[in-house]
Structure 1
């Protein structure tokens, strides 16, 4: 009788042992699986989608922004591009570029196929959101996409309000504006992203779609200047400009090395409590970088209006400085 009881107990234990064995096996497989980030990173590098190629254009060196045309070149300009205007319907109705399609930012990925063989030009108020959209469209497969530099503010003085009203110099005389040398860059681990897919291209697609759905992530220069310790600040200037123009206190300078192929991206902090705030001169390059970094899994933000919003009156620089004279008077339709 005792032997029979032990026999039945053994039968009852077999399923639990089997399940335990399976659980351990799954854990082992999961622990040895290639991280989703690595799969996506390898795909990006092998398909010429590293950060420098998104900024300059894969293969054909098409820069991510294009300036407004001369009036004599207007017709050729208009016929060349499939123009997507991502401003509000009210602003679009007040005046837009001839032929431009009014599309919500969240719909850019479904609108892009309608361009067919035409290059895509994305237009917004200042060029910043358009640059964010351009980076995401390029990562999604629309490599021949550009943003209109300065946005509608540069197209016509009647639509220049967003730039005219947002330049400033809160950094002048501010204790958190420094002229010290850049701190040495640190080395961090990779960001962690999740996906059920093991295909790098599919993971990238998922990430881009999520970043589009989340919208443009920004922070004002004044907020970062007031509390720089709340951010991981990345100054995207050349070394000479970093020292000559000054910079937010303790801002890292991660530019030339910011690549996947050389692991330079590991100079950025991927932790969930590290808000990476990048700034450039106009907020347009930093918008591209921010979109890219968010796809990689960083909690990244673009400092709006860049140096123009931080220290427009700084006499050490001229290039990419906004003034009302930047606006052209190209035609608007409504």
Structure 2
């Protein structure tokens, strides 16, 4: 952040973002844009902010989609030569056949469950680690693989053994019952952005879930990662060693908390005992186990 950041951005670490004092810094009456290095962590954050009633979006592909700055210490942007692999893919559809009880959530409210999960760091896994696990000769430790891409893209080629679930219907009771609570879960999408949103909620619900870092693009050359640092627009940024045109904004000491209700169709406010999950602009059911208040 000190080296380079979007002008006006405030710096709040993901591990502490869901504490009461940090949430109090976020205005509930403005759109909130969250960014990280690659979009993986900010996507996990944004899904939960939306569940809490904020109007939050993740900056697609992270800070490099704003400006690419050499010397950043965090995770690097996707590089096919480094992060991409040519692992085997399958065109054979896999149906989830089990019926499982859901685990106990990390807490009984969204904010408390979010703090419990994010305080320990977000969960991402490299394609190479998944491949090694699947090929170590011990099927008992294989993860349960979920592909949330479009059905036609799943059919064209997916990680062997992966089941296909839409992010928009992922958190229905019927789909959650298909996910084993006693196995590691690995979720992949195209680039890791949507899967990250799914994974944060799964962990809050008590699953041991990981986002496949950089998505299917990291597993197979048939996967497309629609961003290259060479195409970075190089918008103005602020930071050390750069002549800032305006000082970075400071986070306000206090701000109105997120609304206690979420709008439903027609704009009628209503209290929910359900957790709602925002994907692609739609509110979607995420189970009945976490309460907003």
TM-score, normalised on structure 2? 0.70
- How far is the alpha carbon of 1:102 from its aligned partner? 1.2
If asked which structure has higher relative contact order (CA below 8 Å, sep 6+), I would say 2
* Pair 257,146 (structure 1): closer, same or farther in 2 beyond 3 Å: closer
* Pair 182,131 (structure 1): closer, same or farther in 2 beyond 3 Å: same
Alignment partner of 1:269 is 2:184: no
Q: Please give the residue correspondences for 1:165-314 in structure 2 after superposition, counting only pairs within 5 Å.
A: 165=79, 168-170=83-85, 172=86, 174=87, 177-193=88-104, 202-228=108-134, 229=139, 230-244=142-156, 246-255=157-166, 258-271=169-182, 274-311=183-220, 313-314=221-222
Q: Please give the residue correspondences for 1:1-334 in structure 2 after superposition, counting only pairs within 5 Å.
A: 92-109=1-18, 110-116=21-27, 117-139=29-51, 141-158=52-69, 162-165=76-79, 168-170=83-85, 172=86, 174=87, 177-193=88-104, 202-228=108-134, 229=139, 230-244=142-156, 246-255=157-166, 258-271=169-182, 274-311=183-220, 313-314=221-222, 318=224, 320-334=225-239
* Pair 111,204 (structure 1): closer, same or farther in 2 beyond 3 Å: closer
Are 1:186 and 1:267, in contact at CA under 8 Å, matched by a contact in 2? Answer: yes
Q: Distance in 1 between matches of 2:97 and 2:5?
A: 45
3-state SS in 2 of match to 1:114: coil
3-state SS in 2 of match to 1:329: coil
Note the alpha carbon deviations across 1:129-171, whole angstroms, 9 max, x for none: 00011112222x133111111110111132698114466431x
- How far is the alpha carbon of 1:213 from its aligned partner? 1.6
Q: Distance in 1 between matches of 2:98 and 2:26?
A: 41
Number of residues of Structure 1 aligned to a counterpart in Structure 2: 226
Note the alpha carbon deviations across 1:188-233, whole angstroms, 9 max, x for none: 22322168x9xxxx43333222112222011111111222352111
Higher Cα Rg, which structure: 1
Note the alpha carbon deviations across 1:3-36, whole angstroms, 9 max, x for none: xxxxxxxxxxxxxxxxxxxxxxxxxxxxxxxxxx
Q: Distance in 2 between matches of 1:194 and 1:135?
A: 17
- How far is the alpha carbon of 1:287 from its aligned partner? 0.6
TM-score, normalised on structure 1? 0.62
Are 1:270 and 1:298, in contact at CA under 8 Å, matched by a contact in 2? Answer: yes
3-state SS in 1 of match to 2:119: helix
Greater fraction of residues in helix:
1
What do you get for the CA RMSD once the two structures are aligned?
2.4
Q: Distance in 1 between matches of 2:101 and 2:94?
A: 21
- How far is the alpha carbon of 1:279 from its aligned partner? 0.7
3-state SS in 2 of match to 1:189: coil
Are 1:119 and 1:144, in contact at CA under 8 Å, matched by a contact in 2? Answer: yes
Q: Which moved more, 1:202-211 or 1:115-124?
A: 202-211
Are 2:105 and 2:113, in contact at CA under 8 Å, matched by a contact in 1? Answer: no
Q: Distance in 1 between matches of 2:229 and 2:15?
A: 30
Alignment gaps of 5+ in structure 2: 240-293
Q: Distance in 2 between matches of 1:98 and 1:187?
A: 49
3-state SS in 2 of match to 1:192: coil
